[in-house]
Amino acid sequence: SQHIPMGYVLDEKDSIPDNQPVVVQCGGGTRSQVVISLLNNSGFQNLINLSGGISAWKREGLPLKTDQ
């Protein structure tokens, strides 16, 4: 997994795989949709927005892994 802050996505786009699905997530799902739009304009197609963001993921009680 890879974490790229929104402001650096286009600078780091060469490190994002374009041959497999990529889930894009943020806190609530809005910023990730913006990132998907930016990446779509750069030719990416296999992008999935985590609906509701990580907040919805947590509400559902789904597992999280954090780097500490």
Active site residues per annotation: 26
Alpha-carbon dihedral 68, 35, 7, 53, rounded to 10 degrees: -40
Query: Which residues face 48 on adjacent strands?
Result: 23
CA gap 31, 29 in Å, rounded:
6
